[in-house]
Amino acid sequence: MTEMSFTSDEMMTIAASRALTNDDVCFVGIGAPSAACNVARLTHAPDITLIYESGTIGTAPDVLPLSIGDGELCDTAVTTVSVPEMFRYWLQGGRISIGFLGAAQLDRFGNINTTVIGDYDKPKTRLPGGGGAPEIATSSGEIYITMKQSLRGMVEKIDFYTSFGHGDGGDHRQRLGITTKGPTLLITDLAVWRPDPVTKEFTVVSLHPGVKKEDVQKTCGWTVTFCDTLEETPAPTELELTTLRDLKARTKAAHEGAGSGNRKGKQTDG
């Protein structure tokens, strides 16, 4: 059987999905995290519990949601609770094992900015903001992050601390009284990263197929540390790729159809 070709985005999503297990209770961010979590649910982790910020628990969407308020999430959830209950009882109550977040800016210690690019009072770009991400970052058992690598995104110093990672590194979280693990995994379109056990600086542990060290360094704003036992990320399997592509195709058809009053119908030409 010939190996299927795949894009760097597909590799990122699938590598992220592999980190999840049946036993996880996962607080899901919209976008790449949502795709990864649902690929896991549709392949190796059918019993994973997916929770979205709008209060939907145990949701199993047929298509990827446009936002946390997408009706698809509520339609397929085991139950839906109020947002205050979601945060106070489920998240701050320690019932979430994995918080899955994206980032506009990220530093080497997993601190995330989704608020502003540039000066806060006169920003170059005003971003969507934190939403529930700051609470997710401190109250989930651990944090997984997905993002595409770029010099704009992976920076020496973020412009605003939206979601706290490992702060200045080392035991900074513990010194602030935060007892959760914080960011334990970063998956980009080029590599898999994990924090150093002592310094907490993200370190590359695996390169995706065809990626070289210099590819990672030239798209990262700090001097990258590579693990001594650097591995190659296993290429996506046919099942993983087919599952992701079918999910994206259903999503595209549903959201195109929504514009003409047909939530899940596919538009046809003419």
Q: Is the pLDDT of residue 129 over 80?
A: yes
Instruction: Say how far apart CA 46 and CA 21 lie, in whole Å.
Output: 9
Triad 118, 121, 124: Cα angle to 5° = 35
Q: Is the pLDDT of residue 113 over 90?
A: yes
The whole-number average pLDDT for the span 240-251 is 96
Q: Which residue has the higher pLDDT, 104 or 256?
A: 104
Q: Is the pLDDT of residue 262 over 90?
A: no
Tokens read off for 212: 């070289």
For residue 4, the model assigns a pLDDT of 80
Is residue 53 part of the annotated active site? The answer reads yes
pLDDT tier at 32, thresholds 50, 70, 90: confident
Q: Is the pLDDT of residue 161 over 90?
A: yes
CB atoms within 10 A of CB 151: 10
For residue 263, the model assigns a pLDDT of 46
What domains appear along the chain, each with residue ranges and CATH number?
8-258 (3.40.1080.10)
Tokens read off for 111: 């601190």
Q: How many CA atoms lie within 13 A of 28 on its CB side?
A: 37
Catalytic residue among 53, 135, 201, 240: 53
For residue 16, the model assigns a pLDDT of 96
What tens digit of pLDDT does each residue of 164-174 get? 999 999 999 99
Does the global pTM surpass 0.85?
yes
Q: How far is CA 118 from the centre of its chain?
A: 24
For residue 261, the model assigns a pLDDT of 47
CB atoms within 10 A of CB 92: 13
Residue type, 149: Q
The chain-wide mean pLDDT, for the chain, equals: 92
Q: Which of 161, 159, 162 lies closest to 122 in space, CA to CA?
A: 159
Q: Which residue has the higher pLDDT, 34 or 263?
A: 34
Q: Is the pLDDT of residue 259 over 70?
A: no
Q: Is the pLDDT of residue 265 over 70?
A: no
What tens digit of pLDDT does each residue of 89-109 get? 999 999 999 999 999 999 999
What tens digit of pLDDT does each residue of 47-101 get? 999 999 889 999 999 999 988 888 889 999 999 999 999 999 999 999 999 999 9
Q: Is the pLDDT of residue 2 over 80?
A: no
For residue 3, the model assigns a pLDDT of 65
Q: Is the pLDDT of residue 12 over 90?
A: yes
Q: Which residue has the higher pLDDT, 131 or 138?
A: 138
The whole-number average pLDDT for the span 32-45 is 95
